[in-house]
Chain A
Amino acid sequence: MAATYSDKELLELHKNTEQASYAFNLIVRKYQERVYWHIRKMVLSHEDANDLVQDVFIKVWRGLDNFREDSQLFTWIYRIATNETISFLKKKRTRFLLPIVNVESQLCNTLQSDSYFNGDKIQLKLQKALLTLPQKQRLVFNMKYFDELKYEQISEILGTSVGALKASYHLAVKKIEGYLAEN
Protein backbone atom coordinates (compact mmCIF):
# COMPACT_ATOMS: atom_id res chain seq x y z
CA MET A 1 0.00 0.00 0.00
CA ALA A 2 2.69 2.49 1.11
CA ALA A 3 5.04 1.44 -1.66
CA THR A 4 2.53 2.56 -4.26
CA TYR A 5 3.02 6.19 -3.20
CA SER A 6 6.14 8.05 -4.27
CA ASP A 7 8.01 10.13 -1.69
CA LYS A 8 6.73 13.28 -3.31
CA GLU A 9 3.14 12.08 -3.08
CA LEU A 10 3.63 11.12 0.57
CA LEU A 11 5.04 14.54 1.39
CA GLU A 12 2.18 16.24 -0.44
CA LEU A 13 -0.28 14.09 1.49
CA HIS A 14 1.44 15.02 4.75
CA LYS A 15 1.05 18.73 4.01
CA ASN A 16 -2.69 18.24 4.13
CA THR A 17 -3.43 18.51 7.88
CA GLU A 18 -6.29 16.04 7.80
CA GLN A 19 -4.18 13.43 6.03
CA ALA A 20 -0.92 14.09 7.92
CA SER A 21 -1.25 11.18 10.32
CA TYR A 22 -2.22 8.80 7.53
CA ALA A 23 0.72 9.99 5.42
CA PHE A 24 3.12 9.50 8.30
CA ASN A 25 1.81 5.99 8.81
CA LEU A 26 2.46 5.27 5.13
CA ILE A 27 6.01 6.64 5.45
CA VAL A 28 6.60 4.32 8.41
CA ARG A 29 5.29 1.33 6.46
CA LYS A 30 7.39 2.21 3.44
CA TYR A 31 10.72 2.64 5.23
CA GLN A 32 10.45 0.69 8.48
CA GLU A 33 12.23 -2.40 7.23
CA ARG A 34 15.14 -0.61 5.58
CA VAL A 35 15.63 1.61 8.62
CA TYR A 36 15.33 -1.30 11.02
CA TRP A 37 17.89 -3.45 9.19
CA HIS A 38 20.26 -0.51 8.81
CA ILE A 39 20.18 0.01 12.58
CA ARG A 40 20.14 -3.67 13.46
CA LYS A 41 23.34 -4.34 11.53
CA MET A 42 25.04 -1.71 13.66
CA VAL A 43 23.65 -2.43 17.14
CA LEU A 44 23.05 -6.16 16.50
CA SER A 45 20.49 -6.68 19.28
CA HIS A 46 16.82 -6.70 18.27
CA GLU A 47 15.72 -4.89 21.46
CA ASP A 48 18.10 -1.99 20.88
CA ALA A 49 17.21 -1.82 17.20
CA ASN A 50 13.51 -1.80 18.08
CA ASP A 51 13.94 1.14 20.50
CA LEU A 52 16.07 3.02 18.00
CA VAL A 53 13.78 2.51 15.01
CA GLN A 54 10.91 3.95 17.04
CA ASP A 55 13.05 6.91 18.11
CA VAL A 56 14.00 7.49 14.49
CA PHE A 57 10.39 7.60 13.27
CA ILE A 58 9.40 9.87 16.15
CA LYS A 59 12.17 12.22 15.02
CA VAL A 60 10.95 11.91 11.45
CA TRP A 61 7.43 12.80 12.60
CA ARG A 62 8.73 15.82 14.51
CA GLY A 63 10.86 17.03 11.64
CA LEU A 64 8.56 16.28 8.75
CA ASP A 65 6.91 19.73 8.83
CA ASN A 66 10.30 21.39 8.46
CA PHE A 67 11.65 18.92 5.90
CA ARG A 68 12.82 20.92 2.93
CA GLU A 69 12.98 18.75 -0.12
CA ASP A 70 16.66 19.51 -0.75
CA SER A 71 17.42 15.84 -0.23
CA GLN A 72 15.36 12.72 -0.85
CA LEU A 73 13.03 11.61 1.92
CA PHE A 74 14.80 8.26 1.99
CA THR A 75 18.30 9.80 2.48
CA TRP A 76 16.96 12.14 5.15
CA ILE A 77 15.43 9.24 7.11
CA TYR A 78 18.61 7.20 6.66
CA ARG A 79 20.65 10.12 7.99
CA ILE A 80 18.47 10.37 11.10
CA ALA A 81 18.80 6.62 11.61
CA THR A 82 22.57 6.77 11.23
CA ASN A 83 22.93 9.66 13.67
CA GLU A 84 20.68 7.97 16.23
CA THR A 85 22.69 4.77 15.96
CA ILE A 86 26.02 6.55 16.36
CA SER A 87 24.69 8.45 19.41
CA PHE A 88 23.36 5.23 20.89
CA LEU A 89 26.71 3.46 20.55
CA LYS A 90 28.51 6.50 21.94
CA LYS A 91 26.15 6.59 24.95
CA LYS A 92 26.65 2.90 25.50
CA ARG A 93 30.38 3.46 25.53
CA THR A 94 30.24 6.32 28.05
CA ARG A 95 27.60 4.61 30.20
CA PHE A 96 29.79 1.61 30.82
CA LEU A 97 33.02 3.61 30.61
CA LEU A 98 34.26 1.08 28.11
CA PRO A 99 36.95 1.62 25.51
CA ILE A 100 35.94 0.93 21.89
CA VAL A 101 37.30 -2.62 21.79
CA ASN A 102 35.22 -3.75 24.77
CA VAL A 103 31.96 -2.43 23.34
CA GLU A 104 32.63 -4.30 20.15
CA SER A 105 33.46 -7.49 22.04
CA GLN A 106 30.27 -7.00 24.05
CA LEU A 107 28.38 -6.69 20.77
CA CYS A 108 30.10 -9.87 19.61
CA ASN A 109 28.85 -11.73 22.70
CA THR A 110 25.36 -10.34 22.08
CA LEU A 111 25.53 -11.74 18.59
CA GLN A 112 26.49 -15.22 19.71
CA SER A 113 23.76 -15.42 22.32
CA ASP A 114 21.10 -13.68 20.22
CA SER A 115 18.10 -15.88 19.52
CA TYR A 116 17.30 -13.65 16.54
CA PHE A 117 20.58 -14.43 14.78
CA ASN A 118 20.26 -17.24 12.28
CA GLY A 119 23.55 -16.89 10.47
CA ASP A 120 25.82 -19.80 9.60
CA LYS A 121 29.53 -20.06 10.49
CA ILE A 122 30.77 -17.86 7.66
CA GLN A 123 28.14 -15.20 8.35
CA LEU A 124 29.05 -15.15 12.03
CA LYS A 125 32.69 -14.82 11.04
CA LEU A 126 31.88 -11.92 8.73
CA GLN A 127 29.92 -10.18 11.50
CA LYS A 128 32.86 -10.64 13.87
CA ALA A 129 35.17 -9.24 11.22
CA LEU A 130 32.88 -6.25 10.86
CA LEU A 131 33.08 -5.64 14.59
CA THR A 132 36.83 -5.12 14.30
CA LEU A 133 36.23 -2.13 12.01
CA PRO A 134 35.91 1.44 13.24
CA GLN A 135 32.28 2.55 13.51
CA LYS A 136 32.21 4.72 10.41
CA GLN A 137 33.98 2.13 8.29
CA ARG A 138 31.43 -0.45 9.42
CA LEU A 139 28.63 1.92 8.44
CA VAL A 140 30.14 2.48 5.01
CA PHE A 141 30.65 -1.24 4.47
CA ASN A 142 27.09 -2.08 5.55
CA MET A 143 25.56 0.55 3.33
CA LYS A 144 27.66 -0.38 0.31
CA TYR A 145 27.78 -4.16 0.65
CA PHE A 146 24.46 -5.09 2.26
CA ASP A 147 22.17 -2.17 1.41
CA GLU A 148 23.78 -1.72 -2.03
CA LEU A 149 23.56 2.05 -1.86
CA LYS A 150 25.45 4.19 -4.35
CA TYR A 151 28.48 6.13 -3.11
CA GLU A 152 26.60 9.34 -3.93
CA GLN A 153 23.74 8.31 -1.64
CA ILE A 154 26.10 7.28 1.17
CA SER A 155 27.89 10.58 0.71
CA GLU A 156 24.64 12.47 1.20
CA ILE A 157 23.74 10.42 4.28
CA LEU A 158 27.12 10.61 6.02
CA GLY A 159 28.22 13.99 4.72
CA THR A 160 31.51 12.51 3.49
CA SER A 161 33.02 12.90 0.03
CA VAL A 162 32.67 10.07 -2.49
CA GLY A 163 36.47 9.75 -2.69
CA ALA A 164 36.79 9.31 1.07
CA LEU A 165 33.98 6.74 1.04
CA LYS A 166 35.66 4.71 -1.68
CA ALA A 167 38.88 4.71 0.31
CA SER A 168 37.01 3.77 3.47
CA TYR A 169 35.23 0.87 1.77
CA HIS A 170 38.47 -0.34 0.21
CA LEU A 171 40.14 -0.27 3.64
CA ALA A 172 37.21 -2.08 5.23
CA VAL A 173 37.35 -4.83 2.62
CA LYS A 174 41.10 -5.20 3.20
CA LYS A 175 40.63 -5.50 6.95
CA ILE A 176 37.88 -8.09 6.52
CA GLU A 177 40.17 -10.01 4.21
CA GLY A 178 42.88 -9.93 6.85
CA TYR A 179 40.50 -11.07 9.58
CA LEU A 180 39.07 -13.94 7.55
CA ALA A 181 42.56 -15.08 6.55
CA GLU A 182 43.70 -15.15 10.18
CA ASN A 183 40.57 -16.87 11.49
Chain B
Amino acid sequence: MKKINNILNTESGLKANPFTTPSDYFEQLPQQIQERKAVIWKDKSKNIFMALLPQLSLIIGFVVLFLFAKTLFSLIGVESDIKDELTISQNDTAAGSIRARGTSLTDKEEYIITYLVEQKISDEDIALLAE
Protein backbone atom coordinates (compact mmCIF):
# COMPACT_ATOMS: atom_id res chain seq x y z
CA MET B 1 0.00 0.00 0.00
CA LYS B 2 2.74 2.35 1.05
CA LYS B 3 4.77 1.41 -2.01
CA ILE B 4 1.97 2.05 -4.49
CA ASN B 5 0.92 5.18 -2.70
CA ASN B 6 4.44 6.35 -3.24
CA ILE B 7 4.32 5.50 -6.92
CA LEU B 8 0.91 7.12 -7.38
CA ASN B 9 1.96 10.20 -5.46
CA THR B 10 5.54 10.66 -6.56
CA GLU B 11 5.22 9.77 -10.23
CA SER B 12 3.93 13.16 -11.31
CA GLY B 13 3.46 11.88 -14.88
CA LEU B 14 0.86 9.41 -13.68
CA LYS B 15 -1.60 12.08 -12.73
CA ALA B 16 -1.16 13.89 -16.01
CA ASN B 17 -3.97 13.36 -18.48
CA PRO B 18 -2.85 10.84 -21.11
CA PHE B 19 -5.87 11.44 -23.32
CA THR B 20 -6.28 14.11 -25.97
CA THR B 21 -9.13 15.45 -28.08
CA PRO B 22 -9.37 16.69 -31.68
CA SER B 23 -8.21 20.28 -31.99
CA ASP B 24 -10.75 22.98 -31.03
CA TYR B 25 -13.02 20.27 -29.64
CA PHE B 26 -14.11 22.24 -26.58
CA GLU B 27 -14.68 25.38 -28.66
CA GLN B 28 -17.09 23.48 -30.90
CA LEU B 29 -18.83 21.34 -28.27
CA PRO B 30 -21.26 24.02 -26.97
CA GLN B 31 -22.37 24.68 -30.56
CA GLN B 32 -22.94 20.95 -31.17
CA ILE B 33 -25.01 20.72 -27.99
CA GLN B 34 -27.06 23.78 -28.98
CA GLU B 35 -27.74 22.19 -32.37
CA ARG B 36 -28.89 18.93 -30.76
CA LYS B 37 -31.06 20.94 -28.40
CA ALA B 38 -32.69 22.72 -31.34
CA VAL B 39 -33.43 19.42 -33.09
CA ILE B 40 -34.99 17.97 -29.92
CA TRP B 41 -37.05 21.14 -29.43
CA LYS B 42 -38.36 20.91 -33.00
CA ASP B 43 -39.20 17.21 -32.61
CA LYS B 44 -40.92 17.93 -29.32
CA SER B 45 -43.31 20.49 -30.88
CA LYS B 46 -43.95 18.09 -33.76
CA ASN B 47 -44.61 15.25 -31.33
CA ILE B 48 -47.13 17.29 -29.33
CA PHE B 49 -49.07 18.02 -32.53
CA MET B 50 -48.85 14.39 -33.66
CA ALA B 51 -50.00 13.16 -30.25
CA LEU B 52 -53.03 15.48 -30.32
CA LEU B 53 -53.88 14.77 -33.97
CA PRO B 54 -56.38 11.89 -33.33
CA GLN B 55 -58.26 13.92 -30.71
CA LEU B 56 -58.29 16.98 -32.96
CA SER B 57 -59.60 14.95 -35.92
CA LEU B 58 -62.33 13.49 -33.73
CA ILE B 59 -63.42 16.92 -32.48
CA ILE B 60 -63.39 18.39 -36.00
CA GLY B 61 -65.41 15.35 -37.23
CA PHE B 62 -68.05 15.86 -34.54
CA VAL B 63 -68.32 19.58 -35.29
CA VAL B 64 -68.74 18.94 -39.02
CA LEU B 65 -71.35 16.24 -38.34
CA PHE B 66 -73.22 18.50 -35.93
CA LEU B 67 -73.29 21.40 -38.39
CA PHE B 68 -74.42 19.10 -41.21
CA ALA B 69 -77.21 17.61 -39.08
CA LYS B 70 -78.27 21.05 -37.88
CA THR B 71 -78.53 22.39 -41.45
CA LEU B 72 -80.44 19.30 -42.57
CA PHE B 73 -82.94 19.50 -39.70
CA SER B 74 -83.43 23.18 -40.12
CA LEU B 75 -84.29 22.66 -43.81
CA ILE B 76 -86.76 19.78 -43.14
CA GLY B 77 -88.25 21.28 -40.01
CA VAL B 78 -89.20 24.76 -41.29
CA GLU B 79 -92.71 23.84 -42.45
CA SER B 80 -93.70 21.71 -39.46
CA ASP B 81 -92.39 24.39 -37.14
CA ILE B 82 -94.79 26.94 -38.67
CA LYS B 83 -97.70 24.50 -38.22
CA ASP B 84 -96.70 23.73 -34.66
CA GLU B 85 -96.43 27.38 -33.81
CA LEU B 86 -99.97 27.99 -35.08
CA THR B 87 -101.40 25.06 -33.12
CA ILE B 88 -99.58 26.03 -29.97
CA SER B 89 -100.77 29.60 -30.16
CA GLN B 90 -104.33 28.31 -30.60
CA ASN B 91 -103.94 25.99 -27.65
CA ASP B 92 -102.51 28.79 -25.66
CA THR B 93 -105.60 30.79 -26.51
CA ALA B 94 -107.90 27.95 -25.46
CA ALA B 95 -106.06 27.41 -22.22
CA GLY B 96 -105.61 31.14 -21.80
CA SER B 97 -109.33 31.77 -22.00
CA ILE B 98 -109.88 29.42 -19.03
CA ARG B 99 -107.01 31.08 -17.13
CA ALA B 100 -108.45 34.53 -17.84
CA ARG B 101 -111.63 33.71 -15.92
CA GLY B 102 -110.13 33.78 -12.45
CA THR B 103 -106.97 34.58 -10.57
CA SER B 104 -106.78 31.27 -8.70
CA LEU B 105 -107.39 27.99 -10.46
CA THR B 106 -108.50 24.75 -8.89
CA ASP B 107 -106.58 21.51 -9.43
CA LYS B 108 -109.29 20.35 -11.75
CA GLU B 109 -108.98 23.48 -13.89
CA GLU B 110 -105.20 23.16 -13.96
CA TYR B 111 -105.63 19.55 -15.13
CA ILE B 112 -108.00 20.68 -17.89
CA ILE B 113 -105.50 23.32 -19.07
CA THR B 114 -102.69 20.77 -19.17
CA TYR B 115 -104.95 18.36 -21.05
CA LEU B 116 -105.95 21.01 -23.61
CA VAL B 117 -102.33 21.95 -24.22
CA GLU B 118 -101.22 18.33 -24.50
CA GLN B 119 -104.03 17.38 -26.86
CA LYS B 120 -103.54 20.59 -28.84
CA ILE B 121 -107.23 21.47 -28.61
CA SER B 122 -107.90 24.93 -29.94
CA ASP B 123 -110.59 27.52 -29.16
CA GLU B 124 -112.39 26.51 -32.31
CA ASP B 125 -112.48 22.84 -31.18
CA ILE B 126 -113.99 23.91 -27.86
CA ALA B 127 -116.56 26.03 -29.64
CA LEU B 128 -117.42 23.09 -31.86
CA LEU B 129 -117.85 20.81 -28.85
CA ALA B 130 -120.07 23.40 -27.14
CA GLU B 131 -122.38 23.43 -30.12
Contact = CB atoms under 8 A, between A and B. Distances in A.
Nearest to A176: B4
Given A28-B29, A53-B29, A117-B19, A123 B4 contact: no
Given A145-B15, A174-B1, A177-B1, A46 B22 contact: yes
Nearest to B15: A146
B40 A174 contact: no
A123 B18 contact: yes
A118 B16 CA distance: 10
5 contacts: A36-B26, A116-B20, A116-B21, A145-B8, A173-B5
A57 B33 CA distance: 7
Interface in A61-89: 61
Interface of A: 21, 24-25, 28-29, 32-33, 36-37, 40-41, 44, 46, 50, 53-54, 57-58, 61, 114, 116-120, 122-124, 126-127, 145-146, 170, 173-174, 176-177, 180
Main secondary structure of the interface of B (DSSP, over half): helix
A58 B4 contact: no
B16 to A, nearest CB: 7
B13 A120 contact: yes
Contacts of B21: 36, 46, 116
Contacts, number: 80
Contact of A25 (B16, B18, B19, B30): B30
Contacts of A145: 8, 15
Contacts of B25: 50
B69 to A, nearest CB: 46
A117 B14 contact: no
A37 B5 CA distance: 23
Interface residues of B, number: 27
B46 interface: no
Nearest to B2: A177
A124 B18 contact: yes
Contacts of A114: 19
A177 B3 contact: yes
Given A122-B11, A180-B4, A54 B18 contact: no
**Candidate in B4, B7, B17 with the most chain A CB atoms within 10 angstroms:** B4
B34 interface: yes
A126 B5 CA distance: 13
B33 A58 contact: yes
A117 B5 contact: no
Contacts of A116: 19-22
Interface in B17-46: 17-22, 25-26, 29-30, 32-34, 36-37, 40
Contacts of B7: 177, 180
B18 A127 contact: yes
